[in-house]
Structure 1
Amino acid sequence: MTLYDKIQSLAKKEHVSLKTLALNLGFSENYFYIMKRQNSRPSQDKLEKIADYFHISVDYLLGRTDSSTSENVENDLEVMVNSAMSFGGKPLSDNDREFVKKMLRLHLESKENN
């Protein structure tokens, strides 16, 4: 399924036309049709607007995950922290890892509230 197909499917589920969706997001009314014809991908900013509109993650929109929501945030945070096992060549302590996880969680929550 292409990105265009996924957006079209999401719009259909919400009973909104692609033209209306584009206008609601502040895009040109033919934005999605042009995107399909040119086989182009929206900018990160536009991807975030589309994902926010449908209350889904950008990763789901791009097909990187099958989960449409951020219900796996804790697992995602754990993966991110585990991938940062060291800083400056020194391993992170358990306290440091928990601190990083809390900071990431706060950052993600603040993005959801804005």
Structure 2
Amino acid sequence: MHRVKELREAKGISVRHLALATGFSHSTIARLERGERKLSTPQAVALADYFGVSVDFLLGKSPEEMFNDFVDSLRGDFMTELLHGDGDVTQSLSDSVREPVRTKLEILFLLRGINSKESLDMILNLAKLRSAKADFAGED
């Protein structure tokens, strides 16, 4: 299920207005919203651009799914696997990833495994404190 109608209504625009703004016909938008027609890739891209959302969000993915997919894609892009003589496989960040990106990626990979709201709130508050300290100290 996609979110075209939900996004359109939240923006307070009519089907006709959305059709004019995106270059699609009124009937195409109406059929998309009723689920009588599937979004083509160009339509999904155009509508996501218009609403300022990702195609994944437009197509109904939850924020958690989008976060996990994002972290998994980073893992695929930047992790390397090493096969040991005993058959064990270990993963590590590629040597080409340099600081500070290296540490940021390590934090993201670790965050994906934390599901405790209290732990995540504590980490967020620490990050906010660090940011405030840097703002007042003139650090980056």
Question: TM-score scaled to structure 1, two decimals?
Answer: 0.58
8 Å contact 2:19–2:29 — kept in the other structure? yes
Q: Percent identity?
A: 28
CA 1:64–1:38 in structure 2 vs 1: closer, same or farther (change >3 Å)? Answer: closer
| SS of match in other structure, 2:26 | coil
Q: Distance in 2 between matches of 1:80 and 1:33?
A: 34
Who wins on radius of gyration, i.e. which is larger?
2
Q: Distance in 1 between matches of 2:80 and 2:73?
A: 12
Q: Partner residue of 1:83?
A: 76
Q: Following TM superposition, where does structure 1 have runs of at least 4 consecutive aligned residues deviating by more than 6 angstroms?
A: none
Q: Partner residue of 1:59?
A: 56
| SS of match in other structure, 1:94 | coil
Q: Deviations over 1:36-81 (max 9, x none)?
A: 55622111111011011111111111112337xx9x6xx82x4313
Instruction: Indicate the RMSD between aligned Cα atoms, in angstroms.
Output: 3.1
8 Å contact 2:44–2:55 — kept in the other structure? yes
Question: TM-score scaled to structure 2, two decimals?
Answer: 0.49
Q: Partner residue of 1:44?
A: 41
Residue ranges of structure 2 left out of the alignment (5+ in a row): 82-90, 102-140
Residue ranges of structure 1 left out of the alignment (5+ in a row): 102-114
Aligned length: 86
